[in-house]
């Protein structure tokens, strides 16, 4: 557990970031328990309330990390309802749809993502992705290729 969460185990945003970091680092056992804790605590945490849907966004990222793409797409859809102008939610939706066999829907998610983040490109993906595992990074890049990102 992070030092911040040892000091305050009720810090919702801390649980969110620990879940997200665990997804990127490949520490899959920690993703969903911390996402659930972030969701439970968010009602009392002003910082977490400012980013409603964060718990579903991190679950979408975690689902991608473990290859549960259909679950990930559902979590990302839910996150997009809470945060409809979030490129992060649409990146999570796109990557789960593309590798879940829903290429047409992934292309629609890419259209929205391009509107929200006009600078999105394969080069941007390679420079900004933080996946620790070469396999996860390869799948991430492939998802965007499937959706039509150049």
Residue spans of alpha helices (H) in the chain: 3-7, 12-25, 31-42, 46-49, 54-65, 69-82, 87-99, 103-116, 122-128, 134-147
Paired tokens of 117? 């983040």
Q: What is the pLDDT of residues 2-14, one digit of tens each?
A: 666 677 787 888 8
Residue-range definition of the domain harbouring residue 77: 3-147
Q: How many structural domains is the chain composed of?
A: 1
Q: pLDDT digit string (tens) for 92-133?
A: 999 999 999 999 999 999 999 999 999 999 999 989 999 999
pTM of the model: 0.85
CATH of the domain at 42: 1.25.40.10
The closest alpha carbon to 23, from 53, 63, 51, belongs to 63
């Amino acid at each position: 557990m992070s030092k911040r969460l040892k000091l305050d185990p009720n810090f919702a945003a801390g649980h969110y970031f620990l879940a997200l970091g665990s997804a990127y680092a490949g520490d899959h056992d920690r993703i969903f328990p911390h996402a659930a804790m972030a969701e439970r605590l968010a009602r009392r945490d002003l910082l977490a309330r400012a980013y409603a849907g964060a718990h579903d966004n991190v679950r979408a990222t975690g689902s991608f990390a473990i290859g549960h793409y259909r679950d990930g797409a559902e979590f990302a859809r839910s996150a997009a309802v809470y945060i409809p102008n979030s490129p992060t939610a649409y990146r999570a939706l796109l990557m789960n749809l593309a590798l879940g066999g829903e290429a047409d829907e992934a292309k629609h998610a890419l259209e929205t993502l391009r509107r929200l983040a006009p600078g999105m490109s394969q080069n941007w993906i390679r420079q900004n992705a933080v996946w620790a595992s070469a396999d996860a990074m390869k799948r991430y890049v492939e998802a965007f290729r499937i959706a039509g990102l150049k």
